[in-house]
Structure 1
Amino acid sequence: MRTMGLDVGSKTVGVAVSDALGWTAQGIETIKIDESAGNFGMKRMKELVKEHNVSSFVVGYPKNMDNSTGPRAEASERYAEMLKAKFGLPAVLWDERLTTMAAERTLIEADVSRKKRKTVIDKMAAVMILQGFLDSKN
């Protein structure tokens, strides 16, 4: 059984999964969604849950630096509730402050082009969210 980590935005969801032992996170893909049109990528999510034998979710929770929550955090809460309802699996909200910036910095240091960074940043942020969660458990 594996844990799936998600970096939820309004246009994309970065996806990562843990290894079978729950030690490491690997980036899988970025799912295109359209929050304003009510398309949350659940069809693709269902395929990934089955393919990777997922038993739980960790959803990035973008709190403000003062620990308050705003519209994006509320969107993550709704997405986590959707996952629970659709799959009947636990979904934990995980503080993701600064993960996208850290992912961007890592990709810049690895000399990844701006165009390529744009295509992988959400997946990389999902890896960082999930790895933080996994590290806290071990």
Structure 2
Amino acid sequence: MGLFGNLFGKKEVLPPLDPASPAAKRLEKFKTELEAFVAKMNDTLEFVPADEAVYCFIGKPPAMFGMAWFHDGKEHNMKTLAKDKGLSNKKLQIMSLKLGEAYQKHMGEPSFSTTIAGKSVKVHPSDALRNDVVQIIHILE
């Protein structure tokens, strides 16, 4: 939410993420990377924790957003993926569109809040969303 959303009480109130939940344990494995990332960001962050990585929608999905993920101690994003895999802009646009569609498809599923680096972030523990994101980023590449 922007400044006016916060001023007028439109900020979404989410239940806290249970620290004993599988999603919280997945986030904990990437704590160092996530804290450094969240500390430098000034945008809305929505995390999708997986076993081998944590994915993050940045901004206002499903329309205006970026994507980052953390794997093997490193931060990755669409730009690094394109560079590493030699993907075209067209391929990146298709991936971004599919990620937005996946987000929208699972918007009705429960989400929670947690605090990372002193900032409140949203967590999507959905297995279905996680599977879709993994499929789009790692299979379509």
Task: Specify if TM > 0.5.
Answer: no
Q: TM-score, structure 1 length as denominator?
A: 0.31
Q: Which has the higher contact order (CA 8 A, sep 6+)?
A: 1
> What TM-score results when the alignment is normalised by the length of structure 2?
0.31
